Structure 1
């Protein structure tokens, strides 16, 4: 240990070969300060040791230096960046996943939206190191106050992205808090399932929808040729969602070459045409190829007849210019259709993604095996059981009442 003096430092003590300095200054009032040069980051770490006693300051200084050295050796950052800067690095990292094919572009768009909400909540200049385990406890109420229509499932997905971001920050050494330590609002599973049941169509609403779309897309109700064309494309897109159970992003990236063939099949004595399709891994959320049937070929046959983009690599449900229908345009068409068909959305989050819920619901009620539904939809049995367990309860009730519904002699009800 050596002792040195300079113009503004007093009582300077160098530890660990001069890498750590303990000193007082002409403005510290005799309170010892700590300086440690962090070579990897090219910055000076400064901290008040909050003591005027030399021996105590030396012990504290040694502990701080050892802690700093240990963190540097573990690859952790000593100086924290603001959350906006780190969020940009995080999104760049996720964009690399898109390029490598690990996730689809649509998934990155969703993650980016979630991160924007997170930054608004945290304020962009907040340091990542200031995030603690209770930072996001107020996130749920903040989201609901800013947008009363946002549902719990959306916020739950945003929490998932936030934890992914914290995991990245912890791995890169930006924070000491690990993702599993972040406290979030607990969600009522029963309420989430109620939302799924509420945020889909009844059979009566679905009938109103597919019949009403015929008039909505009629030429007399369109302003011009382009709108007429795109309304027809959107109508068939909606019907395809309901007849395949595909994710919106998968269907929007479906190309003509993804139609394997059209097949005739017997449907209770009537001949019916279905379509055999493939979903390519690069367009799938789970990054796996799969094959499935569209239960009714008419939506694809009609699109084939009217489409002006018919090359094998062209998108099936493309807009007038051959690109994917924009989110703004789809949202506008969808809201107009619901209004046209008099389908209420108050206290419900009815979107075109609800058609995937509708597909699963109808197939399950129709007696299709859960494994077959999962394979067709590109998901897991576990995920279906979690999301649609209320249907299992309905199936149990149906089983309990089967004898009565077949017209057999009714027994005294067991339910009180």
Structure 2
């Protein structure tokens, strides 16, 4: 958010700078150089003395009066040839000199003016130019005055722009906080903005969108929860009926089929339980965080696994310490990853954990067939299973990894899959410590 307004501020400053140059050159072109006008006002006394005292003298007394001025003035007055003066001036100013006008040169604190166009002042004066130097012209002051003028204009523009931008920035910051809260699972987060705010229409649309999303998610969770609960009643009746049928069955073949049906019911019951767990993991309100020893939680997870001939190794740093976490949910996530490794590992499973800076990292490696790179994100989707796992030998419904990722996300962490040094798959949990 700050980046947007920083770019906007830079754009405004560049626009004001460009406008300053455009205004300066446009005014210089139309009305003359502002610096020259300031210099002319600063040299007004010398110009007035020349025009009202020296030029008003009779033709034979003009040079005498000029000499008198030289004596009493700190300005140096020289008579130079016309060709020399023309050579010292840029081509655009020579026409002014030819017309007999005073040509100011603020940079050198001087001005030029022809003595007489017709040579009436004294003999040969039409080829002479009066060059006045050391004029009391302060270019620094002139530049400061021009800079101050443009600074005042810039401030006059920036103040309303800053006020307007501040209101937008505060509104966007408020919307950003609402979006963060909504994205973290607080579905009741809404923007509280006055109708007079400039971005109120945007806030209203975001609120309507949030209302719609909340309704859809609540309807989805309610449907999932209701269906799962409703399925339990016929499952219980079927289990009871199969137990009676198995007790009365005398045919071994029938008894075998009944036991197979009981296995299907247990699988269906497990699916219902996992669906209920999924519906409970859609909100951070279910998180009961407290300081827990990470090493102890991981050790508990290894003890909760079903018996297996696979070799399970643990590599836990001694400096794991405690983290803020929901012990049950974190253990559920790690257990799901370990059970997944048990299904596909050939002989080894490695559970490792380390802590570095502000993060704790838990990894589960196996030496199984691994996961294709293009499938490593999709395996966390609910009910998604790789082709090789779509059989009764591996079991599962494709919900274990999805539940693990949701549980980790509720802790503010991430879960992703990659290749393992053991040759199979590696699952990496990163948690804020």
Q: TM-score range by the shorter chain?
A: under 0.3
Q: How high is the TM-score relative to the length of structure 1?
A: 0.23
TM-score (norm 2): 0.23
Larger radius of gyration between Structure 1 and Structure 2: 2
Higher relative contact order (CA 8 A, sep 6+): 1
